[in-house]
Structure 1
Amino acid sequence: MKSIVKNTTLFLAFAGLTFNAFAQEIKQDSTKIETLDEVLIKSLRVDANSPITHSNVTKEELEKRNLGQDIPILLNYLPSVVTTSDAGAGVGYTGIRVRGVSAQSTNITINGIPYNDSESLGTFWVNLGDFSSSVESLQLQRGVGTSTNGSGAFGASINVLTDAASKEANGEIANSFGSYNTRKHTVKYSTGLIDNHIEISGRLSQINSDGYIDRAESDLKSYYLQGSYIDDNTLIKAITFGGHEVTYQAWNGFDPDQIESLGENPNIDENRTFNVSGAYFNENGELQFYDNEVDNYKQDHYQLHWNQKFNNNWSTNLGLNYTYGRGYFEQYKEDEDFETYGFDEITIGGETINETDVIRRRWLDNDFYALNASVNYKDEKLNMNTGVFYSSYHGEHFGEVIWSQFASNSEIRDRYYDGNGDKYDFSVFAKATYQLNNKLSLFGDLQYRSVNYDTSGINSDLELFEIDKSFSFFNPKAGLSYNLNNKNNFYFSYARANREPNRDDFKNNEDVKPEQLNDFELGWRFKNSNLIFNANVYYMLYNEQLVLTGELDDVASPLRDNSGKSSRLGLELEAVVKITDQFSIQPNVTLSSNKNDETIASIDGALVNLGRTDISFSPDVVASNALVFKPMENLQLSFLSKYVGEQFMSNTEAELSKLESYFVNDFNVTYEIKTNKIFKSILLSGLVNNIFGEEYISNGFYYTYDDTWSVAGETTTIEGVGYYPQATTNFLVGATLKF
């Protein structure tokens, strides 16, 4: 295995994080105690020959493009991945879809602790600005993957491992600048081992950007601090990290109808950066934009991990976590009814007033506690993990009016809605890999999971929202891996996953059902000194999949609904072709068919059976390529290409809901200067995104409503659509000083 990794490393240069599934083991830094895979996330990750489809990404690979963009954008060139950015340039709110499955169905863990929000099931990387600067490695598992903590994976899971302890004292100062006034400033340090046992390290970061979209500014501050105690058989890590983000809202997208109603040009080709957020009219009828239409949120994480090795066979791991999140988004709202906010009508000069302009804040204040514990046994043939996970979440949802043109009987800090959500999650698992002989190994994984979710109070729609649901899930997984010889490995796996609905699903339909997935994976891995090739066929068979409808709620969160029977059938191909010692080609492509077995929609007042239709936001083709040239040891140039085929934003295949295909190219260059004076090295990085200026759209929304007045006595379905335009040509340059 070590020789394979060595040969791979010689030419597997960074390709926008494209094909790190081929880095069969995570590269070890000689200054690190250990990569900690064996400590914090052993129960979640898989090794190179596992029958699980996966990609590995290392710190060194992240570093080459870590110039301020979010983690989803840095993973854009991995197989089957499609990413998007609300502000258009990769800073602020970003999203990722894998195999066409939404971010709510991608499970994220940090050091084995769930990061997905317990209620929405979404992942908000904006709360952890520059978190990639504190990532030691990550593994993307496509499909169901292995048993994981928190909500199950329905498209992918991303297991993140934070910085490993360092033997030697070191420091780092990184600065980058680029288009749209984007800038990132990072300071890192490590004491190295003190008395051969204790290490303290940390990071402070700030990222700012004006965004490609009008007024889509981001102000992201973050920190990371860890203390490690290391002995022969003990590793204890105390970690705290978090961030404070203030972003001007860009989540409403480009809605031509809404823009036209404001008297502006609704042509996206001529006005693609227009942002409807914050729009209002002053007393003279002039269009204005409220300057504080922002999302303002803080999130702090506290983790304690204790790994104990008893002998060469037995080890244990205990993880504790507390996460505290709090914040709001602020909005200027015109002509709001008094009734909405509990105001009494007032009379001024004989005129009855029952409407007012307001500025409101809608708050989320939450606490999340988690515990996970696991035991590992390993000998020459058997590697077995068993563990337990428990979490408790409490969230407060409430709204306040902080200003009103007519205040009526309101008092400061009055809440016009107030509700709570509580969620309890328990799971237990046992998984094992057994080596039958030097060619064949078997994998088994059993998980039981119990979830309870209950809500009380009034929601943001000013409706009584009381849910009390409990779910019990059994998630079996099995697979086999066969090494034909030292060049060819074949694998097959089956996995079942069950997943509960999220808060918005219940809000839109109290009778929403949990979703179930049966995932079949068949793969072939080939490697020699000049070629590495992976092929994988997947068949994902769903029951009541919660697919995106294309619509958004009043805060631009995507809505989902059960789709009955549906499936995803795909072929994933990826390769690294060594042309010379300096030049390699690294392509990947996913070809897929993503279908709802039956779609029934309301059209012109009647239910219509549309039969078999494409699943929303699921392109049939996703492809990437990297041309990597390394003319000398410290210089690397990469030309990166990404193609995403056309996709529908609805499940009805409505023509208006179609997003056109796009083809985008980036250019990345890195040059490291080794010095023996003040600094150990200076890393210079440059990145040109969308080098040919493609005007493309990676995400959007589609909605319909019935108009009973358009034709007398008849109902006509009216369609509407919105888009999230992505930036044209833009750049980032940076320098990292290491000492």
Structure 2
Amino acid sequence: MNMKKWLLTALFFLSITTVFAQGKISGIIQDNNGALPGANVVIEGTSTGTSTSFDGTFSLNAATSKGNVVVSFLGFTSKTIPFTIVNGQADLGTIVLSDEGNVLGEVVITSTVIDVAKDRKTPVAVSTIKASEIKEKLGNQEFPEMLANTPSVYATKSGGGFGDSRINIRGFAQENIAVMVNGMPVNDMENSAVFWSNWAGLSDVTSAMQVQRGLGSSKLAISSVGGTINIITRTSDMKEGGSFTATLGNNDYIKTVGSYSTGKMKNGLSASILLGNAQGNMYADGTQFSAQNYFIGLGYEINDKHDLQFTFTGAPQWHNQRSAAPTIAQYLKYGGGSEPNRKYNSDWGVLNGEQYSFRTNFYHKPIASLNYNWKINDKTKLSTVFYGSWGRGGGSNGAGAIRGNRFFADNLRLTDGTINMNLIQAWNSGYPTSLGTRSQVGGAYQNSASTSNNLTNGISKISSVNSHDWYGGIINLNRKLSESFTLDFGLDARTYRGYHFQVLNDLIGATNYSDNFDVNNVNDAGVQQPRILSETYSTRPSFNPLTDVKGQEKINYNNDGLVRWYGAFTQLEYTQGNLSAFVQGAISQQGFKRVDYFKYKSSDPLSSTDFENILGGNVKGGANYNINEKHNVFLNAGYYSKQPFFNAVYPNNASLVNGNLVNEKILGFEAGYGFRSSIFNANLNLYHTTWKDRYQRSTDNAADNPGGYYDFAGITEIHSGVELDVNARIMDKLRLNGMFSYGNWVYDGNSTSNRYDANNAPIAGGTSQTLYLDKVKVGNVAQMTASVGADYEVVKNLRFDANYRFSDKLYAFISPGSFSVEGHKGSLELPSYGLLDTGVSFKIHRTKDSKDSFNLRLNINNLLDEVYIAESRSNIFADDKVSTAANAPTYQQAGRTYDGVADANTVYFGYGRTWNLTFRYEF
């Protein structure tokens, strides 16, 4: 159907709506400062709605003589207003929305711990995605992908395993993006990492998600260098009702979710529960998974001054991964030579008729929180949250070798590129193979971590366990000093203990495993002895979040990382007429301690260090001015002194503190302009961020310094750019949206090194390295993104939407330590690409006047089946030589390129066409 027919269809249904209308509803929407242009007005239980014009007025046709209209605006408490049509009219007069509480979606946020940015008030760049959009468009995608159409956001599936996606905001990786759940920071306290598979259940319990790019509005001393992802989950006092959802997708994906909320009952109690299960395979081969999720919320409104909310949520899961990025040549080889096999995964095989992966991630990370809100009086509120998180699990790998061949070696592969698991099992068990027959050690087929070429060793599957216990609390006092000034003051405390060791998962036919890394395992003469182990542990998550990890038999390494955090923060807000402003400051002390049970004798002081305490903090401020009902501008600026990660404090897996330990320093500036009208909204942002003293380490390969490394100082990045997002309501049934962002994210200046030995002690001599980084593009991200989308209601309750997203200036991942030679070629630029996603939604109520509804949603992602490289882990150019030989040709000369990229690069291709179909019943 061409565009002309679409428009005729739209006009036809508009005319029908007009003919059968019972009358017109009109009114004016205001806040305490005047008109609210762009406020949403919807007739309850229908899709009939409109937006207020620049003077706050609205009018819409009603098909019934009585009902309710729901008025909402981001950052304000929604209102439900009854109407009755008399003589074809219903004038609702002036409706005033209150902004006394933070509001997102259906949830009114009474806790001042949660910082929600408000439109035309909070001076930050922000995008909000509500639960309705997440329910419709997520399907079998990953949670971060919901943000892919946000300016300056680059989200990919990375290796493609369940929950293995990653997100980048303004050129900063997610380790430098603060992720908050109901105001609680959830980035790992040792390395700030976020593993989305641990939070897979969040998509089912999220009421709304805000992406605050840049400084963000959080009062805490968190390092939101690139931005803040603020996730607001369900609460127990949601409106009464429930739902049942079933989703089917490609590759045998199936997910079911059920939920119910009592709503706030007369006695002040409320409860909400959700249970879900998902299983199947992801797009890449060998990526089977199984995941569950649960949410329990209990609430008690004691009276109008005291409110308690308890939540407990978790998502135990296991999934096989594609951790190793294959080369382009491998994708081509196993795709027939002309087109790449985008699904190729080099980490798995088949054993006993079942999928067997050496790379399995398994984890269960529940989080419990208790929120208490006390309205002391009309001017003073006290909000507290106390929380705990217990992570149990890890990720597996292969250990050892067969005749020097590790599990990923070509000699151990079948013709389809999968791992020959039958060969490995036969060798481990002592049967003759194409590589010979294994010899015994002490009458046993004994595996170890050795990779040397001998007849005695074999291959095992082992896991690196990264479990933790984490407790914290946040207290915030909010005081309205006057009609214009509001003061916040609070405390933030956290304590964390991470358990890091390896265990044996599968001997794959061998008898036992020999480990010789525990210096405290000695005989009567005090001589270190190997430990002979045979107990194995499952690569499936424990549903008990308090499982004891200390009693497990550990191999290779065994240490704990302890982190303590104490913080204080304050914020002063000013609101008067069209001007709103804030200034905020926070200080934190982060302490790091390392305990090692294998590397040091228990009598050695280094087996348990003291806490290394480091101060950090931030200060930021900004102002927003509403020029009139349509135009507003804002400015903000901030400075962060960010403590380094745990591995920078104790580098090289040793217990000596880094001798060149400095805080990272971030200085950011931002300006924005907003336009609001009844049919068109736009936001334009400019930003400039300087990131100094980035930590970087590289190996020292000199023969006189085995195990040593270079520590680089003064690495600086500059991230600047422009962002634009727009949306328009062309007619009641047609909405358009779009965004454009362009960044210039580069390294600034060069860096010189200090030299250290394997024990972290500074040493002289050797050749001091220089990293020639000046003007090198920051990698692993697209620096230009754009999208355009449309949502059209074909007939009542039947909607179609489509979105096209384009990524350009996409650079490969780079390690700064690789730029030690002057005159290098910089960052490898990958081919640009565009993706078209589409969806169809249908909704019907059980009866004409019923609130119960049946919802059907079909999503097709990458409809055109675009073949594209989403990320590259290497930086090899087409005009680089294929070998070090003097007369070696370049990759281009040798015909070894794909789409202009050298085929030796290790990459992840993006997913091809995928689909998901969701049925949801709401009651």
Q: TM-score, normalised by structure 2?
A: 0.69
For 1:733 and 1:240, locate their aligned partners in 2 and report how far apart those are by CA, in whole Å: 29
Task: Name the counterpart of 1:109.
Answer: 180
1:536 aligns with 2:676: no
- Partner of 1:17 in structure 2? none
Instruction: Report the identity percentage.
Output: 19
Which stretch shifts more, 460-469 or 326-335?
460-469
Q: Secondary structure at the match of 2:194?
A: coil
Question: Pick from 326, 343, 346: which aligns with 2:441?
Answer: 346
Match of 2:24 in 1: none
Letter in structure 1 aligned against 2:682: F
Correspondence for 1:67:
139
| Kept after mapping to 2: 8 A contact 1:505/1:561 | no
**Aligned runs of 1:2-13 on 2, under 5 Å?**
3-7=36-40, 10=49
- 2:561 paired with 1:421: yes
Distance 1:125 1:349 in 2: 41
Measure the CA separation in 1 of the matches of 2:445 and 2:793: 80
Mapped to 2, the partners of 1:389 and 1:268 lie a distance apart of 57
Deviation at 1:166, TM superposition (A): 3.7
> Does the 8 Å CA contact 1:146/1:445 hold for their aligned counterparts?
no
Pair 7,222 (structure 1): closer, same or farther in 2 beyond 3 Å = closer
Single out whichever of 218-227 and 629-638 deviates more from structure 2: 629-638
Work out which of the residue numbers 478, 483, 487 in structure 2 matches 1:384: 487
Residue 523 (str. 1) matches residue 678 (str. 2): no
Preserved CA contact (<8 Å) 2:112 2:383:
no
Determine which structure has greater relative contact order: mean sequence separation of CA pairs < 8 Å that are 6+ residues apart, divided by chain length: 1
> Once the 2 structures are TM-superposed, how far is the Cα of residue 385 of structure 1 from its aligned partner?
1.7
Aligned pair 1:50/2:122, yes or no? yes
Match of residue 462, structure 2, among 344, 360, 368: 360
Structure 1 CA distance for aligned equivalents of residues 383 and 154 of structure 2: 34
In structure 1, which of residues 287, 291, 296 is the aligned counterpart of residue 362 of structure 2?
296
Q: How does 1:233-312 map to 2 (within 5 A)?
A: 233-256=305-328, 269-278=339-348, 290-291=356-357, 293-312=359-378
Q: How many Å apart are 1:167 and its aligned residue? A: 6.3
* Cα offset, 1:428, TM superposition: 0.9
**Deviations 1:244-287 (Å, cap 9, x if unpaired)?**
11100212222347889xx96796932221111146999xxxxx
Q: Does 1:80 align with 2:152?
A: yes
Comparing 721-730 with 312-321, greater Cα deviation is found at 721-730
One-letter amino acid matched to 2:308: I
Q: Give distance in 1, aligned partners of 2:692 and 2:141.
A: 36
Matched, 1:674 2:822: no
Tell me, yes or no, if the aligned pair for 2:750 and 2:770 is still in contact at 8 Å. no
1:456 and 1:467 in contact (8 A); partners too: no
Higher strand share: 1
**1:388 positional shift:** 0.8
Change (3 A) 1:81 1:527: same
- Indicate which of 588, 591, 610 corresponds to 1:452: 591
State the alpha-carbon separation in 2 of the partners of residues 453 and 327 from structure 1.
Answer: 22
- For 1:80, the aligned partner's letter is S
Question: Is residue 2:801 matched to residue 1:641?
Answer: no
Q: Which moved more, 1:236-245 or 1:140-149?
A: 140-149
Q: Could you report, residue by residue, the CA deviation over 1:436-483 in whole angstroms, capped at 9, with x for unpaired residues?
A: x41323211111111112223279999999795432123111112112
Instruction: Report if the CA contact (8 A) 2:125-2:214 is conserved.
Output: yes
Match of 2:579 in 1: 440
Alignment pair present for 1:489 and 2:632: yes
In the aligned structure 1, how far is the partner of 2:295 from the partner of 2:735? 36
Task: Please list, as runs of the form range in 1=range in 2, the aligned pairs for 1:584-599 lying within 5 A after superposition.
Answer: 584-599=735-750
Shift of the 346–240 alpha-carbon distance from structure 1 to 2, 3 Å rule, reads: same
Q: Give SS of 2:251's match.
A: helix
C-alpha distance in structure 1 between counterparts of 2:838 and 2:293, whole Å: 28
Q: By how many angstroms is 1:600 displaced?
A: 6.2
Q: Which whole-Å CA distance do the structure 1 matches of 2:41 and 2:187 have between them?
A: 33
Shift of 1:179: 1.1
CA distance in 1, matches of 2:559, 2:338: 39
Tell whether the 8 Å contact from 1:229 to 1:236 is kept in structure 2 after alignment: yes
- Match of 1:609, as an amino acid? Y
Deviations 1:353-403 (A, max 9, x none): 653322212212210001000011235212222111000000110112244
Greater Cα offset, 127-136 or 650-659:
650-659
CA separation of 1:466/1:63 partners in 2, compared to 1, >3 Å: closer, same or farther? same
**Aligned AA (2:833):** Y
Structure 2 residue 772 is the aligned partner of structure 1 residue 609 = yes
Q: What's the counterpart of residue 718 of structure 2?
A: 567
Distance (Å, rounded) in 2 between the aligned partners of 1:657 and 1:506: 31
| Partner Cα distance (1:561, 1:41) in 2 | 41
Q: 1:87 to 1:196 in 2, by over 3 A?
A: farther
Gaps of 5+ in 1: 13-21, 283-287, 550-559
1:660 pairs with 2:730: no
The Cα of 1:337 is off from its aligned counterpart by: 10
Looking at structure 1, the residues matched to 825 and 173 of structure 2 have their Cα atoms a distance apart, in angstroms, of: 20
Corresponding residue number in structure 1 for 2:45: none
Counterpart CA distance in 2 for 1:26 and 1:354 is 70
Other structure's SS at 1:145 match: coil
Offset, 1:187: 0.4
CA contact (8 A) 1:27 1:58 kept: no
Q: Distance in 2 between matches of 1:232 and 1:573?
A: 42
**What secondary structure sits across from 1:132 in the alignment?**
helix
Change (3 A) 1:701 1:8: farther
Map 1:391-430 onto structure 2 (within 5 A). 391-404=494-507, 405=510, 407=512, 410-411=532-533, 412=535, 413-430=553-570
- Map of 2:857 onto structure 1: 685
Aligned to 1:369: 471
The Cα shift of 1:147 comes to 3.8
TM-score by length of structure 1 reads: 0.85
Distance in 2 between residues matched to 1:179 and 1:548, nearest whole Å = 42
Tell me by how many angstroms 1:731 deviates: 0.8
Task: Report if the CA contact (8 A) 1:599-1:611 is conserved.
Answer: yes
Aligned residues: 702
Superposed CA offset, 1:205-251 (max 9, x none): 11223111111122111100010011312220011000111100212
Instruction: Note the C-alpha offset of 1:702.
Output: 1.8
Separation in structure 1 between the aligned mates of residue 610 and residue 803 of structure 2, nearest angstrom: 47
Residue 329 of structure 1 pairs with residue 395 of structure 2: yes
Distance verdict in 2 for CA 1:663–1:23, change over 3 Å: farther
Kindly state the Cα deviation for residue 174 of structure 1 after the two structures are TM-superposed: 0.3
Map of 1:736 onto structure 2: 920
Aligned partners of 1:74 and 1:112: how far apart in 2?
20
- Counterpart of 2:227 in structure 1 is 156
Other-structure match for 1:553 = none
Q: Do the aligned residues in 2 keep the contact of 1:143 with 1:155 (CA within 8 Å)?
A: yes
Q: Does the 8 Å CA contact 2:367/2:389 hold for their aligned counterparts?
A: yes
* Cα deviations by residue, 1:129-170 (Å, 9 ceiling, x for unpaired): 232221122221100223454741110101111113446531
Q: Residues 467-511 of structure 1: CA distance to partner in whole angstroms, max 9, x if unpaired?
A: 954321231111121121111111111011232333455566644
- Alignment check: 8 A CA contact 1:134 1:162 kept: yes
Bigger radius of gyration: 2
Aligned 8 A contact 2:219 2:571 in 1: no
Structure 2 residue runs without a partner (length 5+) = 1-29, 43-48, 52-71, 82-100, 407-439, 447-453, 515-530, 536-552, 653-657, 699-710, 754-766, 891-901
Residues 406/517 of structure 1: CA separation in 2 closer, same or farther (3 Å cut): same
Give me the whole-angstrom Cα distance separating, in 2, the residues matched to 1:630 and 1:461.
68
1:639 Cα deviation after fit: 1.0
Given the superposition, is the C-alpha separation of residues 507 and 177 from structure 1 closer, same or farther in structure 2, using an over 3 Å criterion? Answer: farther
The 8 Å contact of residues 220 and 586 in structure 2, kept in 1 or not, is answered as no
